[in-house]
Amino acid sequence: MKAEVPQDRPARAYDVVLFGATGFVGALTAEYLAAHAPAGCRWALAGRDLAKLERLRERLVAVDPACAALPLLRVDAQDAAAVRELAMSTRVLATTVGPYVWYGAELVAACTEAGTDYVDLTGEPEFVDRMYVEHDARARESGARLVHACGFDSIPADLGAYFTVRQLPEGVPLTVDGFMRSNAFFSGGTLASALTALGRGPQTLAAAHARRLHEPRLVGRRARGPLGAPRFSRETGTWALPLPSLDPRIVARSAAALERYGPDFRYRHYASVRHLPVALGGAAAVGATAALAQVPPARRWLMDRWEPGRGPDAERRARSWFTVRFVGRGGGRRVFTEVSGGDPGYGETAKMLAESALCLAHDALPETAGQVTTAVAMGDALIHRLQKAGITFRVADAR
Give per-residue pLDDT as tens, 346-374: 899 999 999 999 999 999 999 999 999 99
Quick one: which H or E segment has residue 247? helix 247-257
User: What are the angstrom distances between the C-alpha of 262 and each of 64, 136, 220, 373?
Assistant: 46, 25, 10, 17
Query: Could you give the CA distance from residue 336 to residue 323 in angstroms, rounded to a whole number?
Result: 13
How would residue 156 be classed by pLDDT, with cut points 50, 70 and 90?
Answer: very high
Query: Could you give the CA distance from residue 268 to residue 325 in angstroms, rounded to a whole number?
Result: 12
* 271, pLDDT greater than 80: yes
376 within 8 A of 261, measured Cβ to Cβ: no
Give the whole-number percent of the chain exceeding pLDDT 90: 71
CA 11, 13, 133, 220 torsion-angle sign = positive
pLDDT value of residue 9 = 47
Query: Could you give the CA distance from residue 23 to residue 16 in angstroms, rounded to a whole number?
Result: 17
* 193, pLDDT greater than 90: no
Work out the average pLDDT over 387-393: 98
Q: Which fold has domain 14-151+348-385?
A: Rossmann fold (3.40.50)
Work out the average pLDDT over 318-340: 94
**Which residue type is seen at 43?**
W
* 377, pLDDT greater than 50: yes
Query: Could you give the CA distance from residue 32 to residue 27 in angstroms, rounded to a whole number?
Result: 9
Tens of pLDDT, residue by residue over 39-94, are 999 999 999 999 999 999 999 999 999 999 999 999 998 899 999 999 999 999 99
pLDDT greater at residue 1 or residue 377: 377
348 within 8 A of 156, measured Cβ to Cβ: no
* 26, pLDDT greater than 60: yes
pLDDT value of residue 325 = 97
Tens of pLDDT, residue by residue over 173-186, are 999 999 999 886 65
* 105, pLDDT greater than 60: yes
Tens of pLDDT, residue by residue over 282-313, are 554 555 455 545 556 654 655 555 555 566 66
Query: Could you give the CA distance from residue 263 to residue 391 in angstroms, rounded to a whole number?
Result: 30
CA 95, 99, 105, 106 torsion-angle sign = negative
Work out the average pLDDT over 213-234: 92
pLDDT value of residue 7 = 46
Residue 16: count of CB within 10 angstroms of its CB: 23
Residue 28: count of CB within 10 angstroms of its CB: 25
pLDDT value of residue 304 = 57
Query: Could you give the CA distance from residue 251 to residue 386 in angstroms, rounded to a whole number?
Result: 18
User: What are the angstrom distances between the C-alpha of 116 and each of 33, 113, 131, 289, 361?
Assistant: 19, 8, 15, 37, 10
